[in-house]
Amino acid sequence: MGKVEDNEGNAAICLQNCKPCLTYPGVEGEALFCARGKSSAPKSKKGCNCGICDVQKKYGCDDLYYCINGACE
Ligand code: SF4
Ligand code: SF4
């Protein structure tokens, strides 16, 4: 069970950070990797904006690259 709530508010905040990220997989409908888990088509690491994300702070997560590594547990 992940720590981060899967809801629309968190998904909207997520896309402000994930979408401009160079590592963003860009798969239609995917977001909130820290809650939902890794992307179905992860890219190689080219930077990660999760460190500046309010969702991450709110739930006490401090990892990076959730789209590659999976959800914050
Ligand atoms: S921590 Fe990363 S994956 Fe999670 S909501 Fe923020 S930008 Fe998205
Ligand atoms: S989880 Fe991190 S690396 Fe992946 S798209 Fe979001 S900000 Fe970029």
Indicate the domain borders of the chain.
8-69
Pocket (CB within 6 angstroms of ligand 1): 10, 13-14, 17-18, 32-34, 49-50, 53, 55-56, 66
Quickly count helices (H) and strands (E) in the chain: 4, 0
pLDDT band at 53 (very low <50, low <70, confident <90, very high): very high
In angstroms, the CA 2 to CA 43 distance is 22
Percent of the chain with pLDDT over 70: 99
Question: What's the mean pLDDT in 1-24?
Answer: 95
pLDDT band at 1 (very low <50, low <70, confident <90, very high): low
Mutate to test the pocket of ligand 1, among 34, 36, 73 (most ligand atoms within 8 A of CB): 34
How big is the chain, counted in residues? 73
Ligand 1 atom at minimal distance to the Cα of residue 35: 4
pLDDT band at 2 (very low <50, low <70, confident <90, very high): confident
- pLDDT confidence of residue 47: 98
* Coil vs helix vs strand at 66: helix
Task: For residue 5, give the nearest of 39, 34, 40, 30 by alpha carbon.
Answer: 34
Residue 23 has which token pair? 């590592």
